[in-house]
Chain A
Amino acid sequence: MTSAPIRHAPAAAGTLVYEGTGFAYPEGPPALRAIDLDVAAGELVLVIGGSGSGKSTLLRCANGLVPHSSGGRFSGSVHVGGRSTRTHRPRELADLVGFVHQDPEAQFVVDHVETDLAFVLENLGTDARAMRRRVEEVLDALAIAHLRDRSPATLSGGERQRCAIAGALASAPAVLVLDEPTSQLDPQGADDVLAALARLNADLGTTIVLAEHRLERAAPLADRAVLVAGGAIAATGSPGAMLADYEGAPPVTHLGRLLGWTPLPLTVRDARTHAAAGAPPLVPPAPADPAHGPTVISARGLSVAIDGHSVLQRIDIDFAEGEIVALLGRNGSGKTKLLRTRAGLLRSAGGTSARAKSTRIAYVPQDPNSLLFASTVAEELTATLRLLDRRDPEAVEIWLQRLHLLDARDRHPRSLSGGERQRVAIAAVAVGGAEVLLLDEPTRGMDAMSRAALEAAIRTHAEQGGTVVLATHDVELAARSASRAVVIGDGDIVADGPARDVLSGSLFAPQVVRVLPPFLTVDEVARSLAAVAAATRGPGA
């Protein structure tokens, strides 16, 4: 069966049918309730919903990982290509369903790309010649032939994830299930992965079920979107219709909703068409108030070298009180290095730096998992205070509340979703009372709810006289919260100025500015609309 060429997967094999599927993890509340879903062969279905909505569980039912690998109570049925997951375990569905996980690092069995691709074929007992050919085919299908002899540890996130998809695809499954495959990737890596998926769906007719939060790229590819909430399917329909009321929709969709555009735009391109057809009268936003407090950290001629390799070259930079600064730049440009130097984790090779005497600096690393060790969220915060020899129960409450973690205070940090963990890590560092907070890629893997909480918390911190520095790929985060943006390229500062000026440049433009310049965010447009409305109502009243 496995020796058939990839393209000729029988049509019926690509169907995926949930009938009254329900599930609860061992000793847990129901995670899925009475799911009915029918995915046709060749369809690309987008699954959306917040963290903890049951998306991941829903996807894991498709090849029997739930309940066979997870354990738990399962009711109803799931049939894939006519086989029931009640009677077939994941390994008996490996020829029919491919599964890709969000963590690109945790999917490699062998430390060699080509051998890893053959893993599923070896398990299925495919004969040697067919195996050889299939591996060559998937190497080409995902355009990773040049990576065949590499170790996955040396690849970028996007490359790793494409190799993982190839590994899932090697058995020529009719259905491919992907759980947030781009959430840990930078924008370039994410684009590469989604483009590869689009090609697979179009060229090979593979049925794809995709949970994804980069909706601007993913939604246009999908035939249908399914909204999951509270373990049940809340709604299903065309991607446009589904995103109309969805909190996590891309900024252009929110903009379209605000301005009453129909059909709602999903991409910048759609939105531009609407905007060209007629934008409402708007007053341009007032230039940002450049008045900040005194400088708290300054560096002159700062250089950093790692292993004799120069990563930052004679940088001059100041951070002032009350500022939120976004550091932008591609991977490896030196943003993280700059933060880590400021946090005292990397030694600078030259230059002088000064900070106001009493200023304390704290750094939140990119991976929250490297920080979390306590058994409850609240304990995680008090641990920091204990390390600093302080008792400050109030600070704990303040930060739990600011980052919307009050409900999770007694839960195990590791039982939370990625976005929630990131917030716990930020709270655990910030509770120490440092005036300057350095956040490294804080929104990675976050859903809309977590992002909103984070943005509010950093704004509050800045308003109370603190300073926040964000190293991020997320231009929307920069547009919504930063007062100043700094672009770093190849170890140099390329641009430094008010966020609006820097972000309006073509490279790092957020979606709204590309549709309605000079507005950066939907909120700004809304405020402007309100101002215009007040002005027109004013004289008439």
Chain B
Amino acid sequence: MLDTVPAAVPSSDLSASDRPPLHAATWIVWAAAAVVSVQLAPNVLYASLILLVTVLVVEVHGRRTGLARAFPLFVALGAGFGLLRVVLTVATTHGIGTPLATVPHIDLPRILGGFRVGGTLERQVLGQAVADALVIVVVIAVFGAWNAVVSHHEVLQSTPRAFHELGLVVTIALAFVPSTLAALRASRESDRARTGGVIVRRGRLVRHAVPVLESGMERAVALAESMDARGFGHRPSGRGERIAAVATLGGLLGLGGAFVALVGGAHLAAAISGGIGLMLVITAIASASSAAKRVRYRPRRLTALDGRVMAAVLVAPLGLAVISSLGDHSLTWVPTGTSLPPFHPLVVVMLLALTTPACVGRAVS
């Protein structure tokens, strides 16, 4: 057992010793700001700028772990995905723009959607499809970057205490990943050893899976004993838990009400009901957290630096919202011809606010 510890395991990603300079919450704010910004300014030029910002951020803060190294893969995956959608859209959308080319077509029967594949390929459709696909690529890239820069250990540590038990499940699961991999390897090897090297494919899945599962479950029972013996166990009790229970119900009713109001076209009522719903869910989380009588060991706290970075990063979406409400059309420009995309220097400055985390060096750790 001692010499079966796998060489490269995801758990090494979770070592707390390698502390990133910014708090995980700061990074969440950054990712949200970037995603909202690209939604507000889907202009190809601006979207590309945000994509460059994510690359820069990963360049500066990417952790030397498997997940961080996967960032380019993540972006490539998003790009492939976007390309697929462009092809799909251009091949199936007809009659709204200037034809670029005409290719052979087939018409699908109604049961399979009844649309035409091929036929005229149109310039406006292509432009719109590229612009839309770029937005998806940027959203995926932003979260790819987020995954590359945060310590997941820290993310779990900073979940609200109300979610402690569920966070703990994820923590335990991550700790079990290497041993599950090792067990899988061992059972594959044992299966070959059993027959003296003869490989029998028939029924192999069961012979490989069952020992891993059974050993895992046995280990779960042992771990459960260790946890019980170390004082673990949650039972709902107290006023905070009761408030949380009622607020949860209220929150869901509020969200449901918002949908009902939207169907009826009552926008204001929907906004109010939805807002109340979200507030109640947040109240429930807060009161359940304060009811939990647990103390965190060496929690990571937000620093003044985190606060400054968050404030700087929020400039981008807030500024864009203001520009958008003033009716600037350069924000949502779509490439349809040969003309260059318009851009506004002020918008570029706003977007550059998203690079603030990259200005904070790694050296802080």
Most buried by A among B174, B215, B297: B297
Name the one of A90, A186, A331, A373 contacting B211, with C-beta atoms under 8 angstroms: A373
Q: Which residue of B lies closest to A309 (CB)?
A: B7
Contact of B1 among A91, A107, A366 (CB under 8 A): A366
Please report the C-alpha to C-alpha distance between residue A210 and residue B14 in the assembled complex, in whole angstroms.
Answer: 34
Collect the chain A residues with CB atoms within 8 Å of residue B110's CB: none
> If the complex has contacts A125-B295, A128-B295, A388-B195, are A109 and B2 also in contact, measured as CB distance less than 8 A?
no
Which A residues are closer than 8 A to B by beta carbons? Answer: 60, 63, 65, 68-69, 89-91, 94-95, 97-99, 101, 103, 105-112, 114-115, 118-128, 131-132, 135, 149, 151-154, 156-157, 164, 167-168, 171, 184, 186, 307, 331-332, 336, 340, 343-345, 360-367, 369-373, 383-384, 387-388, 414, 428-429, 432, 434
* B200 and A387 contact, CB distance less than 8 A: yes
Partner of A94, one of B179, B211, B220, B229: B229
Q: Are A387 and B194 in contact (CB under 8 A)?
A: yes
| Chain A residues within an 8 Å CB radius of B293 | 125
Residue of chain B at shortest CB distance from A123: B231
- Check B172–A121 contact: CB distance below 8 A: no
B-to-A contact residues, CB < 8 Å: 1-3, 5, 7, 9, 11-12, 14-17, 153, 168, 171-172, 174-175, 178-179, 183, 186-187, 189-198, 200, 202, 206-207, 210-212, 214-215, 218-220, 222-233, 293-298
Question: Can you list 10 A-B contacts (CB < 8 A)?
Answer: A69-B224, A94-B229, A99-B225, A115-B16, A120-B231, A153-B178, A156-B2, A336-B3, A345-B193, A367-B1
Complex contacts, B225 vs chain A, CB 8 Å: 60, 65, 69, 99, 101
Given A112-B14, A123-B294, decide whether A153 and B195 contact each other with a Cβ distance below 8 A.
Answer: no
CB distance from A324 to the nearest CB of B (A): 19
Contact check, A149 vs B15: say whether CB atoms are below 8 A apart.
Answer: yes
Besides the known contacts A153-B5, A373-B206, 13 further A-B residue pairs in the complex with CB atoms under 8 A apart: A89-B228, A103-B219, A109-B171, A109-B230, A110-B175, A120-B230, A122-B296, A149-B17, A153-B175, A154-B5, A371-B211, A373-B210, A432-B194
- Are A94 and B231 touching (Cβ within 8 A)? yes
How far, in whole Å, are A352 and B126 apart by their CA atoms in the complex?
A: 63
- Chain A nearest CB: distance from B4 CB in Å? 8
Q: Is the CB of A365 within 8 A of B231?
A: no
B11 with A111: CB separation less than 8 A: yes
Q: Could you say which of B9, B174, B198 has the most chain A C-beta atoms within 10 Å of its C-beta? A: B198
- Nearest residue (CB) in B for A103 is B222
Residues of A within 8 A of B193 (CB): 343, 345, 362-365, 371, 429
Q: What is the CA–CA distance of A364 and B189 in the complex, to the nearest angstrom? A: 10
In-complex Cβ contact of B179 among A131, A153, A167 (8 A): A153
B310, chain A: closest CB distance, angstroms: 25
> Which chain B positions have C-beta within 8 A of A345?
189, 192-193, 197
Q: Distance (Å) between the CB of B261 and the closest chain A CB?
A: 43
With CB as the reference atom, state the residue of chain A lying closest to B197.
Answer: A344
**Chain B contacts for A156, CB-based, 8 A:** 2
Closest to A107 in B: B226
Interface of B is mostly: helix
Query: Do residues A105 and B179 form an inter-chain contact, with CB atoms below 8 A?
Result: yes
Which residues of B sit under 8 angstroms from A365, Cβ to Cβ? 186, 189-190, 193
A463 to chain B, nearest CB (A): 21
A371 to B186, CA, bound (A): 8
Q: Which residues of A contact B194 (CB under 8 A)?
A: 362, 371, 384, 387, 428-429, 432
Closest to A99 in B: B229
Q: Please determine whether B297 and A65 come into contact, CB atoms closer than 8 angstroms.
A: no
- Nearest CB in chain B: distance from A206 CB, A: 15
| A372 to B228 CA separation, bound complex (whole angstroms) | 28
Contacts of A118 in B (CB 8 A): 297-298
Shortest Cβ gap from B153 to chain A (Å)? 7
Contact between chains at A432 and B228 (CB < 8 Å)? no
Chain A residue numbers with a CB within 8 Å of B197 are 343-345, 361
When distances are taken between beta carbons in the complex, the residues of chain B under 8 Å from A370 are 183, 186-187, 189-190, 211-212, 215
Tell me how far the C-beta of A57 lies from the nearest C-beta in chain B, rounded to whole angstroms: 12
With a CB–CB cut-off of 8 A, which chain A residues contact B298?
114-115, 118, 132
Report chain B residues within 8 Å CB of A428. 194
Contacts A118-B297, A370-B189 known; A167 to B230 CB distance under 8 Å? yes
Q: Say how far B285's CB is from chain A's closest CB, in angstroms.
A: 19
Q: Which residue of B is nearest A128, CB measured?
A: B295
Residue on B with the closest CB to A156? B2
Bound complex: CA of A170 vs CA of B16, how far in Å? 20
Report, nearest first, the 8 A-B pairs whose CB atoms are least far apart: A94-B231, A118-B297, A123-B231, A106-B222, A99-B229, A370-B186, A111-B175, A120-B230
Q: A186 vs B230: C-alpha distance in the bound complex, in angstroms?
A: 27
The answer to whether B211 and A112 touch across the interface, beta carbons within 8 angstroms, is no
Nearest-neighbour CB distance to chain B for A81, whole angstroms, equals: 15
A136 to chain B, nearest CB (A): 11
Name the residue of chain B whose CB is nearest to the CB of A371.
B190
Chain B residues, CB < 8 A from A98: 229
CA distance A361 to B224 in the complex (A): 40
Which residues of chain A are within 8 angstroms of B15 by Cβ–Cβ distance? 112, 149, 151
Among B183, B196, B233, point to the contact of A89 (Cβ < 8 A).
B233
How far, in angstroms, from A370 to B208 measured CA to CA in the complex? Answer: 8
Chain A residues near B229: list those with CB within 8 A: 63, 65, 90, 94, 97-99, 168
Chain A residue nearest to B156 in the complex (CB):
A110
Bound CA span A108–B168, Å: 12
